[in-house]
Structure 1
Amino acid sequence: MRVLLVSPGFHGYHASIAAALTARDHQVATHVYDDNGGPAGRVWHQLRHQLPHKLGAGRHRGLEREATERAVTAVARARPEAVVVVKGDTLGDEFWTAIAGLPRVTWLYDEVRRTRWTTERLAGIGPIATYSALDDVDFDAAELDTRHLPLAFDHRLVPGPTSRRSADITFIGARYPSREHTLALLRDADVPVRAYGRDWSSHPVDRLRTWRIGTPDLPAGRDLARSAAYDVMAASAATLNLHGDQDGFTMRTFEAAGVGGVELLDRDDTEGLYEAGTEVLTWNTPEELVELCRRAVADASWADGIRRAGRARTLAEHTFDHRVAVLEGAWDTA
C-alpha cells in the first residue's frame, strides 16, 4: 500500500518507522510536520516562536496553522492508501478531515496529559496506539479504538554491539531536576558518571540554544546523533534510563538493552517487557543504584551476561518491525 507517515522530527524516529513499514512491502512517503527548514529555519523558529514562549507569550497559533497546511498538502501530494500519524497533537482539524475515511492509526509516545490532546478530541481521529498503559485503560473506558503499544529499538541503525568499553556510567537525555539529582548523587559517591545533551553541555552554542548562562557541575558532552548515542550506551560500563513522572516506558528502555548496554532502570514494573536482574537492572534507592554501578564497572563477566540477555530479548520482541505490525493491524479497523 501507499502509506503516508506523518510524524514530528524528534530524534529521527520517523526514519525507523518508515524503514519498518518499507520492510513490510509498503511504499512509504514521510512528512515531518515540525520541520523548520534546516539551520537557518531552526534559528528563525527559535526567535519567532521559542523565545516569545520563554518570555510568557504562550504558544503561537500561527505555527500550528502553518504545520496543518503543510500536512494537508502532503496528503494531497502522497495520495495515500493508509496513514500513520505519530503524536499529531498540533495538527488542526483540516488535516484530520483530509485523511477522514482512509485506513489510519495514531501512535502517541507521550502521556495524553503532556500533549494538546483530550479524550474528546481523540474520539474523532480513528484508531489510537499509546505507549501509556494507563492512558490505554482510560481510552478504553471512553470507548475509543485503542491499544497499548510500547516504544521500540531500531535494530537497523547499529548492526551489532561494540567490543569497546569505558568505565563511565552514562546518561543521554534532557536535564530535569530529578535527573540532575541522580547524576550528582553518583558523582558524590565517586561513580564515574557522564551526561550527554544540550542541557548538560557547557558549550556556548548549547547554552544559547537552551537559554541559560550556567551549566551543571557534572562531566558532560554535547548532543549525540542517535547512532552515536547507541554507540555510547553500548560502550558504557552501564547507562541510566531515568523516567520520573511517566507510566509509559521511554524509547531508551528498548535502545539501551537493544544495543547490548547494561541498562539501569529507575522502575521495577518491567513484567512482560524485560526480566529485571537478568535482562535489565532495576533500582529503587540511591544505595541500590550506587551498588549496581560499582558492580557494572568491576564485574565484566556479570555485566556481559546482562548485555547479551537484554539484547536478545529486544531483538526477539521489541523492534520497530514488531510495533509496525501492530499499527498495520490497527488501521485495518479504521
Structure 2
Amino acid sequence: MQQVKGVIARSKGAPLEVVTITVPDPGPGEAVVKVQACGVCHTDLHYREGGINDDFPFLLGHEAAGIVESIGPDVTEVAPGDFVILNWRAVCGQCRACRRGDPQYCFDTHNAIQKMTLAEGAGAGAELSPALGIGAFAEKTLVAAGQCTKVDPNARPAAVGLLGCGVMAGIGAAINTGEVTRGKSVAVIGCGGVGVAAVAGSALAGASPIIAVDIDAGKLETATKMGATHTVNSSVVDPVEAIREICAQTYEGAEGADVVIEAVGRPETWKQAFYARDLAGTVVLVGVPTPDMKVPDLPLIDVFARGGALKSSWYGDCLPSRDFPMLVDLYRQGRLDLDTFVTEEIELDQVEAAFEKMHHAGAGQRVLRSVVIL
C-alpha cells in the first residue's frame, strides 16, 4: 500500500479538503493508476451536496486519464505503463445484456473490491467512497481493471480524460442513443459541456442542420465552433418554432428535427424537445433531472400521433473499450476538438474554486471544464 494526496468531501456541503489517503496494493482484477489529469464534473458537486447518496466521506473526481502503475492477479485488460482513460462502466460479461451482445447496457458493472481509506487526522482509517467508483482527484487511485481503457499514449491527458464522463455522454447521446447519421437534422437544447459534446458528435456523424439552443450567447458561440450550423437563443425566441422553421427551410414539409437532444434535464426543456421533433422523430434525454421532477402535462394522443421514440441516454450508451480508442484517434487526427472543452488547468487545492465557477456559470464565466493536472 502507499499514501498519496486526494480531495475528499467529508460531509454534505462541507468545504473540500486535500488530505492524505491510503491506496491498497491491487488485488485480483484491480489496478492502481497514477492519475495525470481529471476533469471537474457537475456530478462531483452533486456528490458533495449529498445529491447522489450519503456515503460520506467521498473521494471525488472521475473524468480521468493516467498511467497504470500496478495490476493485481488475473488482470489481462491492461499492463503497467499503459496510458488509460478511466470509466465507471466496467462490464461483467455475464449478465443478460452482455450475453445477448449488448455489453453497453451491462446490468452488473463493477468497481474495485478493496477500499481506499483516510490515512491520518480526524477519521483516520475510515473507508472512502470513490465518486462513480473512481475517485481520481488523487495522485493515484485504485479501480477495477475493467475501468481502464488503453488508448494512444501520445494524446493529451487533460483533453482525452474528459471522455471518461461528460464528453462521452454527449457524443454518445447523439451517435449511440439518437442514432444520428448523415442526412438527419439535429437540435441540441442546452449547450453546457454535455450539450456541446452532443453537437460535436452530431457533426462527426454528418448531420445537417445542427441547431444549438441555449439562453447564453457565449455557449452558443462555443457550440458553433464545435459544429452547430444554426443557433437559437431561447431567451429571445420560442425554440420550438425556431427549430421547426430552420428544419422546414432545409427539408420541405419537415415539422421539426429528426433528433432532439435535451441536455438540461428539466421538464420544460424536455417538453420543448418533444414538440420540436419531426414526425417519427427521436427525443434523447441526457440532461440529469432531480428526483422530484415530473414529466410535464402531455396529452397521450400527442405521444401516439407523433410516433418516433422517447429515449434516455445513460453515459451515452457507450462501450468504453469500443468508443474511447475510436474517439481518441479522431482527436489525434484533428477531427474531434477535445481541447476546446478544457477551459482551464488547475491544481488539487483549486477544486472548490472550480465548483464556485459552476454556480456562477451564467454570469459570464463560461467554463466547459476545469481540469486538475497532477
Question: What is the TM-score of this pair, normalised by structure 1?
Answer: 0.33
- Greater strand content: 2
Question: What is the TM-score of this pair, normalised by structure 2?
Answer: 0.30
- Greater helix content: 1
